[in-house]
């Protein structure tokens, strides 16, 4: 009889991987009462485990709570360790999708404590993955990456034996690399998934991978390729019934089109999302993007006035307009404001020695790299004048990550001259002002300027944050 239950569970799992959740649930529901009657708690745990996964992927979070109560009941009766792990793992998922990240982390850490002695257990990568997801939402990027990195070697080893699991976790790891601005590493991971011979057999992972490649292209200013990827990903998704996956991918597509400042496309996808979910959040997003889309033509006309023609970054005039708005918003919401100024060390001597054409080439390459770090509404970068650049953000964690990555990225730029490759260094000064009540935006910028000149006085080629 156990063979029969195992066979039914295998069928339900295959349906789950094909995103046919309702059919999978009907099979599970037919067998669960029989398992209860036989007090087969091990199989009951497996069946409830899969049913909860189906409900979560369907987005039916409220239906999960009664099943967690059942799991807890069976755990108290049997004391079975697998049931304890099932309960902790799915409780963590329930809290995560209910928006309670604090309790999700608590339950995941309890599960991880049980699993640390057996990292080969199938739950170990899932729990680490869940912790990464919580910390990414809390913008604690280093913690998110830490837990993702713990399972990286396990997933590499699973590439051929467990290809779906491998694709899932590698896609997630690539997303964390995006947030850390490690774009080339993320590209290599995604390319490896795209080359996997079994990828196209799993629509969910195929759509996710193509979408993530689109995000990579959007973040690295390859907009045409990004749009091709988003179109292809959505074509795959339209044939699927997984609304949670559709919503998640629609969010990344909309966000990417906002980064690309293509508000008409962002609005089109927001309409699709609103029709799919009909939630208050999606309605507000739709209204906001509709306003942006209506103003796109006007913004296109103003773009030349707002953009520096050498670096293609925003210019000082536009920065000063936006900085006042950002300062007012941060002051009214009692949130920090972060500002950084950086310039090229000994730029005048470089211009004198190699000429202004080489100087402009350096500025263009700085602009090309700096644009990759721009985040609409989160992080603003502009040319402030001459060889000086300015960064503004309302998110300290993102700000610190960005200035560190940008500092090292710019140091690696090489410019070809008649004498060979030329490299340069930069100096960067930054401030994070927690309490703006005694400040103006000019005072915040002045403090960043003071830190920049402190770096200059102490030998240049350094980064200083206070």
Name the one residue in this structure whose structure tokens are 């993702």. Answer: 148
- What single DSSP character describes residue 100? -
Query: Residue 240: what are its φ and ψ, rounded to 5°?
Result: -110, 160
| 174-180 average pLDDT score | 80
- Percent residues over pLDDT 70 in the chain: 92
Decide: helix, strand or coil at residue 291. helix
Burial environment of residue 224 by CB neighbours within 10 A (0 to 12, 13 to 18, 19 or more): exposed
Q: Are the beta carbons of 165 and 171 closer than 8 angstroms?
A: no
Contact, 204 vs 188, CB < 8 A?
no
Instruction: List, in sequence order, the alpha helices (H) in 295-391.
Output: 296-306, 316-332, 347-354, 356-371
Q: Which CATH number fits domain 1-150: 3.40.50.720, 1.20.5.510, 1.25.40.10, 3.10.129.10?
A: 1.25.40.10
Give the whole-angstrom CA distance, residue 155 versus residue 171.
11
End-to-end CA gap in the chain:
67
pLDDT digits (tens, 9 = 90+) for 15-73: 887 778 889 889 888 888 888 888 887 788 788 888 888 888 777 888 888 888 887 88
Q: How far is CA 73 from CA 61, 66, 84, 399, in A?
A: 20, 11, 10, 47
CB 145 within 8 A of CB 180: yes
**Cβ atoms of 339 and 390 closer than 8 Å:** yes
Q: In whole angstroms, give the CA distance from residue 270 to residue 229.
A: 17
Predicted confidence (pLDDT) per residue in 386-399, tens digit: 899 999 998 898 89
Question: Which tens digits make up the pLDDT trace of 304-354?
Answer: 567 787 888 888 888 888 889 889 888 888 889 999 999 999 888 888 888
Beta carbons of 34 and 44 less than 8 angstroms apart: no
Q: What is the mean pLDDT of the chain?
A: 83
- pLDDT, position 213: 93
For residue 301, pLDDT over 50 is answered with: no
> From the CB of residue 383, how many other CB atoms can be counted at a distance below 10 Å?
24
**Mean pLDDT score, 83-106:** 85
Q: Is the separation of the CB atoms in 405 and 373 below 8 Å?
A: yes
Look at the block and give the residue holding tokens 């966000």: 255
CB crowding 416-429: b at 16 or more within 10 Å, else e: eeeeeebebebbbb
CA atoms within 13 A on the CB side of 90: 31
Confidence at residue 412, expressed as pLDDT on a 0 to 100 scale? 85
- Would you state the pLDDT for residue 182? 82
Contact 121, 115 (CB under 8 A): yes
Can you name the CATH fold of 312-465?
Alpha-Beta Plaits (3.30.70)
> Which stretches within 140-295 are classed as H helix?
141-150, 152-157, 163-179, 183-194, 203-219, 223-237, 243-259, 263-277, 280-294
Say what the pLDDT of residue 208 is: 92
For the question of whether the overall pTM of this predicted structure is more than 0.75, the answer is no
pLDDT-based confidence at residue 454 (cuts at 50, 70, 90): very high
Please report, for the chain, the start and end positions of each structural domain, with discontinuous segments joined by +.
1-150, 312-465
pLDDT of residue 54: 86
- What integer pLDDT is reported at residue 15 of this predicted model? 86
Residue 296, pLDDT above cutoff 70: no
């Amino acid at each position: 009889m156990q063979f029969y239950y195992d066979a039914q569970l295998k069928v339900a799992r295959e349906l789950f991987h094909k995103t046919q959740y309702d059919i999978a649930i009907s099979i599970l529901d037919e067998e669960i009462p029989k398992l209860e009657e036989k007090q087969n708690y091990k199989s009951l745990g497996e069946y409830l485990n899969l049913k909860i996964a189906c409900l979560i992927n369907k987005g039916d979070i409220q239906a999960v709570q009664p099943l967690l109560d059942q799991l807890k009941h069976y755990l108290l009766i049997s004391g079975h360790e697998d049931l304890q792990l099932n309960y902790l793992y799915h409780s963590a998922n329930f809290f995560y999708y209910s928006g309670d990240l604090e309790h999700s982390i608590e339950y995941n850490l309890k599960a991880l404590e049980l699993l640390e002695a057996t990292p080969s257990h199938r739950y170990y990568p899932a729990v680490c993955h869940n912790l990464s997801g919580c910390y990414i939402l809390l913008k604690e990027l280093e913690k998110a990456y830490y837990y993702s990195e713990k399972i990286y070697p396990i997933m590499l080893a699973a590439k051929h034996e467990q290809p779906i699991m491998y694709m899932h976790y590698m896609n997630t790891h690539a997303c964390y690399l995006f947030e850390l601005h490690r774009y080339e590493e993320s590209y290599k991971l995604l390319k490896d998934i795209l080359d996997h011979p079994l990828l196209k057999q799993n629509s969910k992972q195929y759509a996710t991978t193509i979408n993530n490649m689109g995000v990579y292209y959007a973040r690295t200013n390859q907009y045409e390729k990004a749009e091709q990827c988003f179109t292809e990903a959505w074509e795959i998704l339209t044939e699927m019934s997984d609304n949670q996956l559709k919503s998640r991918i629609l969010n990344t597509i909309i966000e990417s089109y906002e980064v690309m400042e293509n508000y008409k496309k962002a609005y089109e996808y927001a309409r699709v999302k609103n029709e799919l979910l009909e939630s208050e959040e999606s309605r507000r997003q739709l209204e906001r993007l509709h306003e942006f889309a209506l103003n796109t033509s006007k913004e296109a006309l103003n773009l030349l006035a707002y953009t520096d023609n050498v670096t293609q970054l925003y210019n000082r005039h536009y920065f000063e307009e936006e900085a006042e708005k950002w300062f007012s918003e941060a002051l009214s919401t009692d949130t920090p404001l972060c500002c950084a100024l950086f310039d090229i060390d000994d730029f005048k001597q470089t211009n004198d020695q190699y000429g202004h054409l080489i100087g402009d080439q350096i500025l263009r390459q700085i602009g090309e790299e700096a644009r990759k770090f721009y985040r609409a509404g989160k992080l603003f970068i502009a040319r402030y004048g001459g060889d000086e650049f300015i960064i503004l953000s309302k998110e300290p964690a993102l700000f610190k990550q960005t200035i560190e990555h940008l500092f090292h990225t710019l140091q690696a730029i090489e410019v070809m001259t008649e004498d060979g490759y030329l490299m340069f260094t930069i100096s960067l000064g930054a401030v994070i002002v927690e309490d703006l009540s005694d400040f103006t935006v000019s005072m915040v910028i002045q403090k960043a300027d003071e830190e920049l000149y402190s770096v200059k006085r102490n030998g240049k080629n350094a980064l200083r944050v206070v």
